[in-house]
Structure 1
């Protein structure tokens, strides 16, 4: 939590104004930031200086792991974050590869479960990782990437948190997640929860112990219409201790995640937070 506040201050103090071509808005921007989350005791890295709706963050990542391609599928899980990009993004609406209402195209989980090589063969990256980790194998290629340069034009949005690398040291599982673009007031809270949850759930379904997650960010920014709220509200609040995430112990396999897991299988214990902040969202 403190590292997040420190990065917000760094962006304000050192950031450079950059105009974002997709949204038409200016962003105060810095390059390179690193976070480290120790989830070995069940602590979930949830923002406490504002209320974070953590369940939709988990639902979104769960949808990625299932390879969902429709905003309707995410809504059914309890996540509405893809409605705008699927249906209100002018560039995507005019894209000939869009197949209709709620279609997101070939982004995020589609690439994680059905990545296409140049010959058109689909590769299930996640399945290979789960199978290897379950057998105690780390070939230093336990990588799941949502970024396929050959199909960026076939997606409503290029993946922001695009690559997840899993590493084993004995029976301890580590995760390194790479993010090309980070909307600090809005997106970061979601992404931070997702990194911690992904490590926890992957450890559980592969029989390993969750250790530390490393969250690496390239471009960290605050939009011009978010800046006042960051400075005058969020940065004036003191953080609270992190809560603990309780995961249904009956979740034991990738098949479980694919077929029956819901948000009711996760409980956040001891989440104390400041009131929510309604930051503007840029499509």
Structure 2
């Protein structure tokens, strides 16, 4: 599989090489969605994040503000799509929409469903919740304590893994436990979608913060561009909060796949060559990692090639 990036090559060639490998020699499989994929198992990509560099794809437009809004939403611990829909972010809408259509038989459009989620708080409460997905596990991992007579009760506030991570990076940088985990086995069945980008680990080397993301399942065409941005953003926020410099991001994929109905996108993207050197500036440092706003981020040097789209497999 792919190893450490050649510094003389554009960073994006790693992504395109992986896409080509999957498309040309991946194992063709029947998947959960019924669409079908070509898949490889165990991939690795590496990106230098020093001097503001980010793994932002240039061979198609990646909507980094949308990805950033999603990541900031994760940090709130919210699990309802209402706040995302209010910002025009529809990344998670298809799962509640599918559940609503199946339960009611109403063939409502996604736009109308999202508008109703935003306008009607009670409707959003009933139909917009995703279950205890990413953010809930990151900042409020449930903890139970004895309540007597063999019973247990849940504590009002669970474990805030992100806050604990910031504290451990500041006070014990040499620790091997700088981890944020989303895979809560006891709650997987309650989630709209079990976490794909499930495990983050960080490593301090001198004054440099390095990060690793392990992803159990990866849609390379649609999901991975956002996942790379989110992981790099997480590292950059932690580095700023902990007075460290951003180092290297390592991405590792388990079932790493392309959907068979993404052929048009894949072939168009593989015909392009990456170019440019986008950088991210974080223009404000809030008191905590939970205080960032979308206005705090500026990207420069990003001139992507034309937009490429493909259907999402739910």
TM-score, with normalisation over the residues of structure 2? 0.82
User: Does the aligned pair in 2 maintain the 1:26–1:223 contact within 8 Å?
Assistant: yes
Structure-1 separation of matches of 2:259 and 2:228: 19
1:197 aligns with 233
Query: Kindly tell me: are residues 209 and 111 of structure 1, through their superposed partners in 2, closer, same or farther at Cα, counting changes over 3 Å?
Result: same
Q: How do 1:56-205 residues align onto structure 2 when only pairs under 5 Å count?
A: 56-89=66-99, 100-117=126-143, 119=145, 120-121=154-155, 122-205=158-241
2:244 aligns with 208
Please state if 1:238 is matched with 2:276: no
Q: Secondary structure at the match of 1:100?
A: helix
Structure 1: where are the runs of 5+ without partners?
Answer: none
Structure-1 separation of matches of 2:103 and 2:232: 33
Q: How do 1:212-231 residues align onto structure 2 when only pairs under 5 Å count?
A: 212-231=248-267
Structure-2 separation of matches of 1:112 and 1:180: 17
Residue 77 of structure 1 and its aligned partner are, at CA, apart by: 4.7
Residue 255 of structure 1 and its aligned partner are, at CA, apart by: 4.2
Structure-2 separation of matches of 1:115 and 1:27: 33
2:110 aligns with none
Residue 241 of structure 1 and its aligned partner are, at CA, apart by: 2.3
Residue 35 of structure 1 and its aligned partner are, at CA, apart by: 0.8
Larger Rg: 2
User: Does the aligned pair in 2 maintain the 1:66–1:113 contact within 8 Å?
Assistant: yes
User: Does the aligned pair in 1 maintain the 2:212–2:249 contact within 8 Å?
Assistant: yes
Residue 244 of structure 1 and its aligned partner are, at CA, apart by: 0.4
Query: Kindly tell me: are residues 196 and 237 of structure 1, through their superposed partners in 2, closer, same or farther at Cα, counting changes over 3 Å?
Result: same
CA RMSD, 1 decimal: 2.0
Structure-1 separation of matches of 2:55 and 2:174: 26
Structure-2 separation of matches of 1:92 and 1:157: 17
1:269 aligns with 300
TM-score, with normalisation over the residues of structure 1? 0.91
User: Does the aligned pair in 2 maintain the 1:87–1:93 contact within 8 Å?
Assistant: no
2:310 aligns with 279
Of residues 144-153 and 121-130 in structure 1, the stretch that sits farther from structure 2 once superposed is: 121-130
1:254 aligns with 289
Deviations 1:90-143 (A, max 9, x none): 79969xxx9622101001010011112464442111111111222353421111
2:4 aligns with none
Aligned residues: 274
1:3 aligns with 14
Structure-2 separation of matches of 1:186 and 1:153: 24
1:39 aligns with 49
User: Does the aligned pair in 1 maintain the 2:178–2:201 contact within 8 Å?
Assistant: yes
Structure-1 separation of matches of 2:224 and 2:289: 26
Structure-2 separation of matches of 1:24 and 1:99: 30
Structure 2: where are the runs of 5+ without partners?
Answer: 1-11, 105-123, 146-153
